Chain A
Amino acid sequence: MSWTSVDDPQLGVCQRADAGARLVEPLDAAGLAQLLGEYRGAFTPTVGPPPDPGGRDRVWVDLSPFSGVGPVTDGALAVQAGGAATWGAVEGHLAAEGLTLGPVPGALWDEPLYVTLARGARRRPSPRFGELLDNLLAVKAALPGGGLTRSAVTPRRATGPDLARGLLGAGHRAGIPVSVHLQAWPRSPVTAWRAVGFAGWAEALHGGVAALHGGARPAWWRFAAQGDRVVCLAGFAGEAGLARFDEAMGGHPLDPGLARALGDEVFGPGVAAHPLGAAWSGPVSEAIGRAEVGSEIWDLRPEGVTVLGAATGPDPGWASLADAALGVLEGGP
């Protein structure tokens, strides 16, 4: 599909595909905000021309200008990235400076940040580095109808309701992130590996919770059914409670090479290749029953578990409320 530059009376200079779809590239954040403010129709964000432009009325906004990464703030280790930068690009930039975001799920590696934020994906199996979006320090976004949000780059967005979080999981209608600050960490090599076998899911999950309460903080871990047993594989970056893991976990020690073989790219795209969307999250006690038939626990925390392969959709009541608020934001009633 080829694109042709045209001067659109509403959008200014843009490219038009043969099918009539239009692609517009804002110069900067202010330009994007102005575009969203002055054009009353809907945009679909993209990075570069989309392979399939869609129908005649489709308007794409190319976020390529917001793909940069850096710099990293001294001391705070806060890395600034454009909304269209991929997680892999951010991690690559940090790796060159001896830093890391912690494990990035493989499914996200090539995904632009704005897409992840729009989906509200926040899980990752890393007690040491915490959930993905807990490491989000600030977001600057262009809003529907124009205007730019602002949030201080701080360790906690602490003033009133968390409006930056209001953008998360709301889809592209809520706004388009143009700049993001993320918490980076000193990059410790993975120095220890553990593999532990359990007779069943209940023993494995209770062992995992006991290890967390004991102070163990694996850089990543995974729980998976293998034949008639459940295996936990874990990698530790730095000390991070390795001794407490050994004390509290229970189960039967297995060859740590099992973990090493699966996890030697803990800070690369190999940590997990599963799509994060197909998952169920809930309390440990309920997860035990679900995991009997599932194959893998994605994430384990004392107060909850995410089980892969058991998806639940959004609550319809809350989804309609979000739709209503988005309607107001877009200038509706």
Chain B
Amino acid sequence: MSTASVEALVDGLQAIVGPAHVSTTPPDRVAYARDLWPRSQLDRLAGEPPRLPTAIAWPADTAQVAEVVALCRATRTPIVPFGAGSGVCGGTLPVRRGLVLDLKRLRRVRRLAAEDGVIEVEAGHNGERLERWLAHRGLTLGHFPSSILCSTVGGWVAARSAGQCSSRYGKIEDMVVDLEVVTGDGQVRRTPRVDAGGFDWNGVFVGSEGTLGVITSATLKVHPEPRARAFRGWQVPDIQAGLTVMRRAMQAGLRPAVLRLYDPLDTLMVGSDGDKKAGGGPLHTLKQGLLGQGSGGGALRWILSHPRLGNGAVNLLPAPCLLVTVSEGEPGEARATDDALAAFAREVGAKDLGEGPGRAWLAHRYDVSYKQSGIYRKGAFVDTFEVATTWDKVAALYAAVREAAGRHVLVMAHFSHAYPGGCSIYFTFAGAAPDASAMRDRYDAAWQAGLDTALGAGAAIAHHHGVGLSRRSHMGPAHGDARRWFDALKATLDPDGIMNPGKVFGEAP
């Protein structure tokens, strides 16, 4: 944009949201040029400067959002809706510069109708604060993503988030009753209730990552806080045995809050008591490094620079795995669910480890967020990659991704977010290379191998982290000609193409 155009844009923004709520300062522009996509960290290490937004604005309400969208439409300014920046796929990076629209001032609870089991909350409301607010009223949303401390309601909806208790409460798309959206044409719209029948507009906006409009509020289902919880850890003979327990539980109609199966390496990392107390030696070094702790990076870099060796050693690990279960609800349901899970576990020869692993998981469940940056200072990288598939393909997909990505990085995984038809596989991978450029090549090769393998296996190439930039290349093959549907919706709702351009499917052909 020319200087005059920028000045006109800023003047217009200031008139709408007030001068105090618009910024073009370098620190703000740098801060809003990033999210938690690890690839961006590698770009910085390689000396590649971020693409900065032209400006940042903090609207106070839906009316201001609509005015800002209208202004941007008139000036052909790209808009990137922004929650709390916890995305890990580059979905909020301003690749076409333009305006970052930070929604954190839209943080009111508009309506709580406990009798009707719903809450309407604005998009910028922080997740952890919302859960605390509900807990004071004896309620819960049941949505506990690991990013809950640094994410917002709008971000959850836009990126199709899943919480750790999704097997009981569902993913965010299962929680949405209706949405308020400012579409790219500047109109404020409320979607029909999810049970209205007909065209499923909620299904279109959930997961659209700001490419069709700005989600400004969401009506979500709420539940009574569980009065009882039953924690349990099981040592299952192997991965397949653990998957069998998960599958049978979900197909029997049970609704455990948590079913979480760790593969052999992740089991060792977590510790058999679930309390992250791995012993010394290479495993300790690896674990400290992945958590961004410990001193000295030489040993860590060596381990991660030899992924074939590392993954080969993992293949020699004992097969037994840790399965953590949490059952909750009214006391009768929690007890009945725990008993039924125990019966399924015993049928596959699992050993009861007691409450410890489940309680330890609960205590540490948000530890990962914010703790990745340390590893980059040691000359290595770490990222996660989640996919979903049906039960008949889970074990084979796990093995295939380990094989394909394992040529480039050390790979471990856990299995969670279980459904009657299948589950998610959550891979964690880490690697190292002699310099930043080589690290980036290795990182890209691992992602490419993982996505190609998932796509080839007929799996969903994401489960809850979204698409952003990291999966964009595989969206066309994943959806076939359904992309034309997206383009038709985009042309209707965002006729000037200003909403988060370049994301999800990329630019229209």
Contacts and interface: CB of A to CB of B under 8 A. Distances in A.
B253 A137 contact: no
B223 interface: yes
A143 B485 CA distance: 9
A5 interface: no
Contacts of B197: 119-123, 169, 276, 279, 281
A164 B251 CA distance: 24
Contacts of A153: 390, 458
Contacts of B329: 213-215
B462 A326 contact: no
A306 B196 CA distance: 9
B193 to A, nearest CB: 6
A282 B336 contact: no
Nearest to A286: B116
Contacts of A166: 199-200, 203-204, 482, 485-486, 489
A76 B480 contact: no
Contacts, number: 271
Contacts of B247: 75
Max chain B C-beta neighbours (<10 A), residue from A74, A163, A167? A163
Nearest to A74: B392
Given A128-B253, A154-B422, A183-B421, A147 B481 contact: yes
Interface string A114-126: 0000011111000
Contacts of A185: 251, 253, 420
Interface string A182-225: 01011000000000000000000000010001110100000000
Contacts of B252: 186, 238
B224 interface: yes
Interface string B199-237: 111011111110110000000010110000000000000
Interface residues of B, number: 86
Contact of A149 (B198, B458, B481): B481
A231 interface: no
A243 B204 contact: no
A154 B388 contact: yes
B201 A318 contact: yes
A160 B505 contact: yes
Interface residues of A, number: 87
Contacts of A119: 197-198
B459 interface: yes
Nearest to B191: A318
Given A156-B463, A159-B478, A145 B484 contact: yes
Given A77-B420, A143-B481, A165-B200, A159 B116 contact: no
Contacts of B208: 160-161
Contacts of B389: 152, 154-155
Nearest to B194: A304
Contacts of B459: 152, 154
B110 to A, nearest CB: 15
Interface in B404-434: 417, 419-424
Max chain A C-beta neighbours (<10 A), residue from B196, B332, B417? B196
Nearest to B177: A303
A162 B194 CA distance: 14
Given A160-B505, A284-B117, A149 B199 contact: no
Nearest to A133: B200
A59 interface: no
B391 interface: yes
Contacts of B460: 152, 154, 156-159
B64 interface: no
Contacts of A78: 390, 421
A156 B173 CA distance: 10
Given A143-B481, A150-B478, A161 B171 contact: no
A112 B205 CA distance: 28
Nearest to B328: A215
Contact of A306 (B195, B253, B421): B195
- Closest 5 A-B residue pairs measured CB to CB? A215-B333, A147-B481, A150-B480, A76-B390, A165-B203
Given A155-B388, A161-B204, A162-B207, 5 more contacts: A149-B481, A151-B482, A158-B160, A169-B200, A304-B117
13 contacts: A76-B391, A76-B422, A77-B251, A122-B197, A149-B480, A151-B478, A166-B199, A166-B204, A175-B485, A209-B117, A215-B337, A243-B336, A318-B189
